């Protein structure tokens, strides 16, 4: 029986250069989609999947991320005094011990960021969520993956089909046998040269991994872009334990780019009964 996934790593130390100048002073994970920051969507997704401990791998200037999940006593007192509901801010209040943060002191790659959380993760399976990849589904992407993990164990990564012309931008899997939404992984490569990708199934930023991946990251080997790549560490354990890709049922938005960020705002707004009518009227008028 597979060990339960209790911990999730959120690599949030990046500089967010594609969203400058906003990210000059605001972490990109704190930029809002409608009225909630990106990090809130990722945390809600993790909580829905049963995650108990949220591990933020931060960098300099990212203290707002941890502060956001702290209690705001003055704000809460003011809302109560005015007879207003605390419901809008309740999801941003972390339970005691729920949030832990560690520093990635050098930008050495996603694999290095995940490795920075190794002592907190310990010897148990863990999830990794990239908050600038907004995944919308019911249930959420990670909850769907956990359900599959409970059946097959091992390692599971979310997968998404992209046009062949875009595979050079992502980590891509070499697929084996397929069973429903699960596909066996025979190998994977980070940002393959155009025309060399083994498939068009990319990794959009959700992972359930065994601690063996952390041990593979101990080698600190660099890969594409001269960085320590999580994809390379995962590739090392393929063949030694079950490894599957899961084609999740939902939508994905790349909020790390200006266009993706705007599209995500419109998509989420159109699902919100309180704002959709005004947004729909505006779009129609244009």
CATH of the domain at 244: 3.90.550.10
| Per-residue b or e along 173-198, where b marks 16 or more CB atoms closer than 10 Å to that residue's CB | bbbeeeeeebbbbbebbbbbeeeebe
pLDDT at 110: 92
Cα 239 from Cα 159, distance rounded (Å):
19
Q: Which domain holds residue 76?
A: 7-254
Is 275 inside any structural domain?
A: no
Q: Tell me whether residue 187 is in a domain.
A: yes
Q: Give the chain's length.
A: 286
According to the model, what pLDDT value does residue 195 have? 84
Please state, in angstroms and rounded to a whole number, the distance separating the CA atoms of residues 159 and 81.
Answer: 48
- The token pair at 183 is 């596909």
Any domain includes 266 = no
Asked whether residue 127 is domain-assigned, the answer is: yes
User: Which pLDDT score, from 0 to 100, does residue 220 have?
Assistant: 86
Residue 283 lies in a domain: no
Instruction: Give residue 1's pLDDT.
Output: 66
CA angle in degrees (0–180, nearest 5) for 206-45-217 = 30
Within the chain, which residues score under 70 in pLDDT? 1
The predicted-structure confidence for 212-257, as pLDDT tens digits, reads as follows 999 999 988 888 778 888 988 998 999 899 999 999 999 999 998 8
User: Looking at residue 224, what is its pLDDT?
Assistant: 77
Is 281 among the domain residues? no
User: What is the count of structural domains for the chain?
Assistant: 1
CB-based contacts of 197: which residues, under 8 Å, 6+ apart?
164, 167, 168, 172, 189
- pTM as predicted: 0.93
* 175 in a structural domain: yes
């Amino acid at each position: 029986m597979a060990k339960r996934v209790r911990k999730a790593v959120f690599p949030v130390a990046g500089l967010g250069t594609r969203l400058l100048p906003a990210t000059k002073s605001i972490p990109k994970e704190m930029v809002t989609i409608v009225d909630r920051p990106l990090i809130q969507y990722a945390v809600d997704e993790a909580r829905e999947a049963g995650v108990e401990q949220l591990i933020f791998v931060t960098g300099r200037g990212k203290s707002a991320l941890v502060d956001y999940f702290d209690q705001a006593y003055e704000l809460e007192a003011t809302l109560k005094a005015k007879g207003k509901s605390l419901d809008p801010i309740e999801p941003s209040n972390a339970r005691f011990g729920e949030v832990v943060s560690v520093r990635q002191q050098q930008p050495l790659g996603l694999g290095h960021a995940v490795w920075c959380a190794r002592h907190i993760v310990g010897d148990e399976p863990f999830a990794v969520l990239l908050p600038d990849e907004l995944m919308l589904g019911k249930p959420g992407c990670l909850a769907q993956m956990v359900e599959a993990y409970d059946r097959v164990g091992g390692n599971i990564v979310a997968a998404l089909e992209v046009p062949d012309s875009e595979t050079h931008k992502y980590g891509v899997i070499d697929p084996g046998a397929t069973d429903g939404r699960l596909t066996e992984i025979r190998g994977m490569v980070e940002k393959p040269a155009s025309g060399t990708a083994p498939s068009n199934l990319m990794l959009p930023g959700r992972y359930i991994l065994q601690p063996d991946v952390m041990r593979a990251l101990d080698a600190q080997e660099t890969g594409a872009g001269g960085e320590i790549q999580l994809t390379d560490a995962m590739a090392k354990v393929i063949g030694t334990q079950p490894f599957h890709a899961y084609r999740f049922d939902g939508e994905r938005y790349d909020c790390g780019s200006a266009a993706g960020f705007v599209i995500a705002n419109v998509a989420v707004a159109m699902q919100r009964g309180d704002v959709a009518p005004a947004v729909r009227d505006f779009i129609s008028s244009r």
